[in-house]
């Protein structure tokens, strides 16, 4: 297992109550499972996590199966909820 940093942005940061955390994971699926476990008492966290875009080491994970996305020691996983924008 590798030490991986999960970085939370916008609504998921608010739901987590922290900007980032380090988890042990060998794949993106394991990292996401660790995040769910760490915040299992927050239904809001789970709801937002389910709609997040994921970027691993600067590359969007897209529609790839998270179990096939290999993480390495020091990998960074960015969790980005949808952003609303616009205005005057």
Indicate which CATH number applies to the domain containing 15: 3.10.20.30
Residue 8 falls inside a structural domain: yes
Residue 40 falls inside a structural domain: yes
Residue 20 falls inside a structural domain: yes
Phi, psi dihedrals of residue 47, rounded to the nearest 5°: -65, -45
Nearest alpha-carbon partner for 69 in 19, 21, 2: 2
User: For 29-63, what is each residue's pLDDT tens digit?
Assistant: 999 999 999 999 999 999 999 999 999 999 999 99
What domain count does the chain have? 1
Residue 86 falls inside a structural domain: no
Q: Which domain holds residue 62?
A: 2-80
**For residues 79 and 71, what is the distance between their CA atoms, to the nearest angstrom?**
15
pTM, whole model, 2 decimals?
A: 0.92
């Amino acid at each position: 297992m590798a030490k991986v940093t999960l970085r939370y942005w916008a609504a998921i940061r608010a739901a987590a109550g922290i900007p980032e955390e380090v988890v042990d994971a060998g794949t993106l699926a394991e990292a996401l499972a660790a995040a769910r476990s760490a915040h299992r008492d927050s239904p809001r966290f789970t709801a937002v996590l389910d709609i997040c875009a994921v970027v691993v080491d600067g590359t969007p994970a897209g529609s790839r199966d998270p179990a096939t996305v290999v993480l390495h020691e020091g990998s960074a996983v960015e969790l980005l909820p949808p952003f609303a924008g616009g205005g005057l």
